[in-house]
Structure 1
Amino acid sequence: MSSEFSRTLSLLRQEKGVSQRAAAGELGISQALLSHYENGIREPGLRFVVRACDYYGVSADFILGRTLSREGNMLTEQDILDAAEPKSTLRGSVLATLQSKLLSGAVGVLFELLGKLGDKTLINAAAAYLGSAVYQLYRHLYRSSGANEGYFALDPAAWELGLADADRKLSQVRYAEALRELKAKKAEFPDLSSPAINAAYPGRCQSLTQVLSTTDARLVAFSREKK
């Protein structure tokens, strides 16, 4: 069984705010056995999975890590917007897990498509762009936590001037240039039509679609605000 199951099972119990002993009692098993399930030491049978779905009010696909929606469907833009609200049931570690799944799935599809083009410059530029974004977000978190910023070699003053932003923009330029060169060489690009993507990446394609549609909607709203 997927390791996603044990992690999701534990997160759902924590979100519900019940102890392992209480949850085990409601689910009709011992606390020790539930602990084994939550830590991935043992795999449960189908009957337990069904009981857990009923107890936590989620779909089997969700608890098994096959979908990002509790009801078994793809998350909508509004689902994600609602999840960011303080009173939403999707919050904290559960929300972080869902967002992580969305992004990791989308990035995985992107790099597999880039790999089909076989261009080292293109792949490295994409990796540099995303790596710089992660660096910047993590460094903000690191600084806010009060940790020693000497961990980073880049001087704080240089970072504060937007060096990471500049690096990301340069990576984007290199990425676009590599694509132009491939197009000029009449390289064979992968089929990016919806049917082709759905067929090639079943399951993960919904992560890519969701990230693209949610971001697109956010940018459209932002562009309208500026008019």
Structure 2
Amino acid sequence: MNADFPRILTLLRKEKGISQKEAACELGISQALLSHYEKGIRECGLDFLVRTADFYHVSCDYLLGRSPDRAGATLTVDDIPEPDTVAGKENTFKGSILPVLNKKLIANSLNVLFDLLQRVGSKSLTNEISSFLMLGVYRMFRIIYSINPKNQDALFTVPHRLSDNYASAMMQMCSANAQTLASGMPLEGQEPVKNVDNALLTTESITEQYPMCASSLFNLVQNSEIKIGYDKK
């Protein structure tokens, strides 16, 4: 059985707020057997896998860790909504204006960043920078997730005590690789920057090329350097 199955099986039960005894009864097996499944001691059969998927209203692919989506969907570019067009609760901030402001500064700056990545034409550089950013969001999400002790850590495969340091180390590696590629130095198996001239930037050219996003980028740069607190004196 897939190594993710015990973790996800436990996660679903705890998120549903039921005991092993209750879950085992609903699934038609003994509590002892369910305990073995959740601990990864024994492998279940296909019939149990299907019953479990039906009971928790998830796909078999999700149970097996083949898809992070509960419905088992595999995302393509066209499936992912644009950030500014996402409707509903997840795109609405009430109360303080700060989350709205910061979200816009970050989102608009990312628009500039990824357009520039496309222009310089290095898939490897795009992958390294994308991984760095994803790891940063991952680290902050885990901090928010840890606020409530009732949240199940089984959502993640990497233990909480290790996740931040591991992710930080990977971010350092991504940053080092990105800097190496951007400087034109070779990395084995990596694609170098092709169009150096497209990375020639001035405040004027950025403003002209990105009239909707330039101000956000400049404000993000200013806010970040204030946060860094560097004193050139």
TM-score, length basis structure 1: 0.54
Once residues 177 and 218 of structure 1 are traced to their aligned partners in structure 2, the CA distance between those partners, rounded to angstroms, is 26
User: Quick one: which amino acid aligns to residue 226 of structure 2?
Assistant: A
Once residues 148 and 128 of structure 1 are traced to their aligned partners in structure 2, the CA distance between those partners, rounded to angstroms, is 25
User: Quick one: which amino acid aligns to residue 161 of structure 2?
Assistant: A
Once residues 171 and 199 of structure 2 are traced to their aligned partners in structure 1, the CA distance between those partners, rounded to angstroms, is 25
The residue number in structure 2 matching 1:170 is 173
Match 2:218 to one of 186, 209, 213: 209
Once residues 122 and 128 of structure 2 are traced to their aligned partners in structure 1, the CA distance between those partners, rounded to angstroms, is 10
Q: Which runs of 5+ in 1 are unaligned?
A: 16-90
The residue number in structure 2 matching 1:116 is 119
**Contact 1:125/1:174 (CA < 8 Å) preserved in 2?**
yes
**Contact 2:105/2:216 (CA < 8 Å) preserved in 1?**
yes
**Partner-residue secondary structure (3-state), 1:181:** coil
Deviations 1:58-103 (A, max 9, x none): xxxxxxxxxxxxxxxxxxxxxxxxxxxxxxxxx2xx3211110110
Residues 165 and 107 of structure 1, relative CA distance in 2, 3 Å threshold: same
The residue number in structure 2 matching 1:100 is 103
User: Quick one: which amino acid aligns to residue 117 of structure 1?
Assistant: V
Residues 198 and 186 of structure 1, relative CA distance in 2, 3 Å threshold: closer
The residue number in structure 2 matching 1:69 is none
Residues 184 and 125 of structure 1, relative CA distance in 2, 3 Å threshold: closer
Q: Which runs of 5+ in 2 are unaligned?
A: 1-83, 186-191
Q: Say which structure is richer in helix.
A: 1
1:169-188 to 2 correspondences below 5 Å = 169-181=172-184, 187-188=196-197
**Partner-residue secondary structure (3-state), 1:106:** helix
Residues 124 and 150 of structure 1, relative CA distance in 2, 3 Å threshold: same
Once residues 184 and 123 of structure 1 are traced to their aligned partners in structure 2, the CA distance between those partners, rounded to angstroms, is 10
- Give the C-alpha shift of residue 144 in structure 1: 1.1
**Contact 1:191/1:197 (CA < 8 Å) preserved in 2?**
no
The residue number in structure 2 matching 1:154 is 158
Equivalent pairs, count: 139
Larger Rg: 2
User: Quick one: which amino acid aligns to residue 151 of structure 1?
Assistant: L
User: Quick one: which amino acid aligns to residue 209 of structure 1?
Assistant: F
Residues 157 and 141 of structure 1, relative CA distance in 2, 3 Å threshold: same
Structure 1 consecutive aligned stretches of length 4 or more whose deviation exceeds 4 Å: 182-186
Once residues 108 and 194 of structure 2 are traced to their aligned partners in structure 1, the CA distance between those partners, rounded to angstroms, is 30
Query: Are residue 129 (structure 1) and residue 138 (structure 2) matched?
Result: no
Once residues 222 and 171 of structure 2 are traced to their aligned partners in structure 1, the CA distance between those partners, rounded to angstroms, is 22
Residues 96 and 186 of structure 1, relative CA distance in 2, 3 Å threshold: closer
**Contact 1:125/1:171 (CA < 8 Å) preserved in 2?**
yes
